[in-house]
Each structure stands twice: as structure tokens, then as C-alpha cells.
Structure 1
Amino acid sequence: MHSNKTIIVTGAASGMGRAIAQAFLEAGANVVINARSEEKLSSFIAENNNHSHRIKTVIGDIGQKSTTLRLAQTALDNFGTIDVLINNAGAFVPKPFLEETEENLDAYYATTVKGSYFSAQAVIPTMQAQKNGVIINIGSMWVENPIEATPASASQVAKGAMHTLTRHLAIEFAKDNIRVNTLAPAIIETPLYDKLMDKDTLTSLASLHPLGKLGHLDDILSWVMLLSGKGGEFVTGQTHFIDGGINAGSHSV
């Protein structure tokens, strides 16, 4: 289904982005991956040495439009098509609203908003010419469901912009058969959360989800593969909450 397709993944140095790139590579796709860390992108190639001819890297700040243009050009120069864009780059660092800084807000805006906006702008002309394409924005469940104990307004304002971008692009480019959707995860066990919190804290956070457990990368990967394959051909403009039931309503813990 994804064999010989070309996939661009931003924020692919670790965690969710890296796992998404790995899943597409194993499905037979060509992948163009971006991050600021040359070392981490090089390690991805080393770990997948047998498939290195299907991997290209673009090192740089995705908040710079020039980086997004290089991503698109790298895909076209090496593989001839751009079939799927995964806007994954972003960060989640809890911080009280009154302690947030202009520097942090600017950083969230650059990476999450500008990165997603200009990455989409860079790939859509090719998708229009193909009359086919998929963009998946990795948003956040916390946009719609803030938690008092974990304030994160700065990062979630930026993620909320991705949710809005999804709807606007889906309508504007539906005529070109370009499908745009958002995945809005809750707490998914990734190196990011492992770095921020110890195991006991992560276990206690499972109680926030009505299903009583944390999400796993496989929960995200299955949706990415569905929306970018035949299962997603009639789905666009939607935010899909991968959240163990949080968005459905409150529950007692």
C-alpha cells in the first residue's frame, strides 16, 4: 500500500517522528526525514543500512521556510514524488501561564505553526499536480482538554493552530484530492515523556484516561498508516483524538 510512496516526516530525530519514519520505511516507502540533529538522523540511517537508498535527510530548523523548501526539493530530486507529509515537529513542556516567556512562545510558534504551515505550502503544489496527497498534522488532545495540574498554554496554543490549519487546508484542497487530518494524542509513551517524568509518574498519569492506561506508539502508527492509505481515502478535515477517551468527557479517578 505504501511501497514506493515518498513520505516526509518532520521532527524525526526521536520518539513519535522517528517511529513514524521507521514504520513507513518498513512498509516499503521512501522517507525524507528532518531534524536539527545530524547525529540522530545519521543513526537512523545506520540502523537501517539495508534500506539506506530509500532514506534522505534534511538537517535544519523546520521553523525556517528555507528548510521546508529543502525538504520538498530533496524528495522530488531523489524520488520524484511527494505522497505524504507528516507534520510532527513540536514540543510539550508544561509551564504555568504567568511564568511563560516570549522566547518560549516564539519557539513554539516557529517550530509548530510556521514549520507545519510552510511544510504544507512546500509540498502541496506537487500534490496538486499528482491530484493526490496526504497531510497528517500531529496535534494534541490537550488543546481541547487542558488540565489544571499540568498547565501548558504556550505549546497548546501552537498545537491548536495545527488543528485549525487542518480544516482550512482540507477544504481549500479537497478539489485536488489532497486529504488533511490531525491526530491529537493524549499521553503516549515516548522518549519525550520518559525524559520529562519518571515511571511512577507516568503510571499515575494513566488514570487520566478513562481507559486507565497510557497510549503506545503503535496506537499512533496504526492511525497514520490508515489515514495515509486506502482506509483514509474518504476522510479529510478531521481531528482524531487518540486519547483513551479523555475527549469524550469527564470521569472519576
Structure 2
Amino acid sequence: MEGSSGKSLSYIVGGSSGMGLATARLLVADGGTVVLVAREQDKLAARKGELEAGGRGKIETIAADFYDVGAVKSLIAKIDGETRHINHLVNAAGYFIPKDFLEYTERDYDGYMDLNRAFFFVTQAVARNMVKNGGGSIVNIGSMWAHQAIKATPSSAYSMQKAGLHALTKNLAMELGGHGIRVNAVAPAVTVTPLFNAFIDPDKVEQTLTEGFNAFHPIGRVGRPEDLANHIVFLLSNKASWTTGAIHDVDGGVMAGRV
């Protein structure tokens, strides 16, 4: 059984900001226990205080750098030592810096692929827990960029990373379904999150994205973390008990077509 949200234990990889944080907010407000995994301990401590003050559940934190092999192994050891049933896993960590293909370095490329390596083995550790305890639900945050290329935002390595995450979603749904584990993904389009802080002034992200991309979405606006969080929580829940291996386009209609 996946567990009701009020009694669930959820691990959120990349839970200190953006879609991961918005998902944690919903889960803890419903009484669940959420383990936030992110790089910066100070940010995790701040999020713990914020979320526990506004919710009925409990927040735990683990600091781990997903680009550091040793840190990922340490995180996996902690997951392997978890005595409780992990009901949910959300793989939400990521970064995005548009760059022309001809300008990529090996370091640029490795940053994206190291992230997928971490997702792969952390998910494996969580799946071992779920198999032992009777099942669970996993949601990966993919991307519209894994479906199609956007010339204005060249992102070959990012798109490759997210396409790999989509493929992993489908493969794990097939392999783990017999253990009562569902695996799905959401593929957002342009969403206002700190993902863009790496190449847009953080004070101007909101204005830049709304002015530049509202019209790009048939629904007429860019996404918000809460738009994705609501869908992620649905996929985690028993309300989606017959849904697995699906890549849900939560994208304001971008993948529906072109004018």
C-alpha cells in the first residue's frame, strides 16, 4: 500500500526550492513526514522551520551534493538504513543553463549526466525499501525540452538528461510494477522557479519569464511551482493508482501544437 498522505513518508530530492519545495508544502500540510534532500544545509534548515510552522506534518533534512559521488553514496547508505516505509520519492533536483552545442565542454556535459547518475542509484535504494515494505510511488520531474528542441533556448545536454529521466520512468514502471511501485513523470514547460537564476538576475526572473514566455503557452501564462506540485501529489496518491509509466505534460498546452 502507498499509504495515505497524512501518514506517508516522502523523500524529495531537490526539495529546498521550486517544484520540490511546493510539493513538500502540500504533503506536510496534509500531515505527512517529508525528508528534504538538497545541497545547502542552511537552506534546508530555513525550509524546515518554514514548513513545520505552516503544516501539520514533520520535516526532516539531509544535506547532499548530487554532483559528488561520495555524497551520493552517503545518501544511499542513509536510505538503505531507513527502517520506515518510504511511500513516496520525488526526483526534483536540477539546473538549466542554455548553451550552444558547439560551445559545450566536457564539464558542462558531465554536470547533467552526474545528476542522472545520482537519480538512478538513489531511486534504486528507495525502490529496495519500497519492495521490502509493499510498494510506493515515484515521480520524476522531466521537461518539455525532452520532447522538443526550442531554438531560443539551446539545451542539448539538458534535453538529453531529461529525456533519459523520461526513459528511466518508463523502464522502472515496467520492472517495478509487480512490486506495487508506480513510476510516473511530469514534463513542465516554462515555470517560474530558481532554475533560471543561473542565467537571469534572480530579481528579474518573474518579469523576464512572464514577458517573454506567457504567450508561448496556449493557456496564456507561464507555470508556477504549485501547478506542478498539485499534479505531483496527485500522481503520488492512490487517486492515481492505475497510472504508471506515464509522462504527463503539465505545460500550459505547449505540447498540444503550434499556431
TM-score normalised according to structure 1 size:
0.91
Pick aligned residue for 2:85 from 67, 76, 81: 81
Counting matched residue pairs gives: 247
Pick aligned residue for 2:99 from 95, 102, 121: 95
Per-residue deviation, 1:48:
3.4
Closer, same or farther: CA 214–179 of 1 in aligned 2, 3 Å:
same
Pairs within 5 Å for 1:1-253: 1-50=4-53, 54-63=58-67, 64=69, 65-73=72-80, 76-77=82-83, 80-111=84-115, 113-193=116-196, 196-197=199-200, 198=204, 199-202=206-209, 203-251=211-259
Identity of aligned pairs, percent?
34
Using the alignment, how far apart are the partners of 1:194 and 1:214 within structure 2?
A: 16
Query: Is the 1:184–1:243 contact (alpha carbons within 8 Å) kept by the matching residues of 2?
Result: yes
List per-residue Cα deviations over 1:66-120 (Å, max 9, x = no partner). Answer: 144145246x24xx11000001111111111111111011111112x11211111
List per-residue Cα deviations over 1:5-49 (Å, max 9, x = no partner). Answer: 000001122112222122211111111111110110010122234
Per-residue deviation, 1:56:
1.6
Structure 1 residue ranges without an equivalent (≥5): none
Using the alignment, how far apart are the partners of 2:120 and 2:18 within structure 1?
A: 22
Using the alignment, how far apart are the partners of 2:252 and 2:123 within structure 1?
A: 29
Query: Is the 1:8–1:86 contact (alpha carbons within 8 Å) kept by the matching residues of 2?
Result: yes
Query: Is the 1:136–1:224 contact (alpha carbons within 8 Å) kept by the matching residues of 2?
Result: yes
Q: Helix, strand or coil for the counterpart of 1:123?
A: helix
Closer, same or farther: CA 52–43 of 1 in aligned 2, 3 Å:
farther
Using the alignment, how far apart are the partners of 1:59 and 1:200 within structure 2?
A: 31
Q: Which moved more, 1:127-136 or 1:80-89?
A: 127-136
Using the alignment, how far apart are the partners of 1:72 and 1:184 within structure 2?
A: 26
Using the alignment, how far apart are the partners of 2:170 and 2:37 within structure 1?
A: 25
Structure 2 residue ranges without an equivalent (≥5): none
Using the alignment, how far apart are the partners of 1:232 and 1:49 within structure 2?
A: 27
The Cα RMSD (Å) is: 1.9
Q: Helix, strand or coil for the counterpart of 1:185?
A: coil
Considering Cα pairs closer than 8 Å and 6+ residues apart, tell me whether 1 or 2 has the greater RCO: 2
Query: Is the 2:146–2:159 contact (alpha carbons within 8 Å) kept by the matching residues of 1?
Result: yes
Using the alignment, how far apart are the partners of 2:245 and 2:137 within structure 1?
A: 11
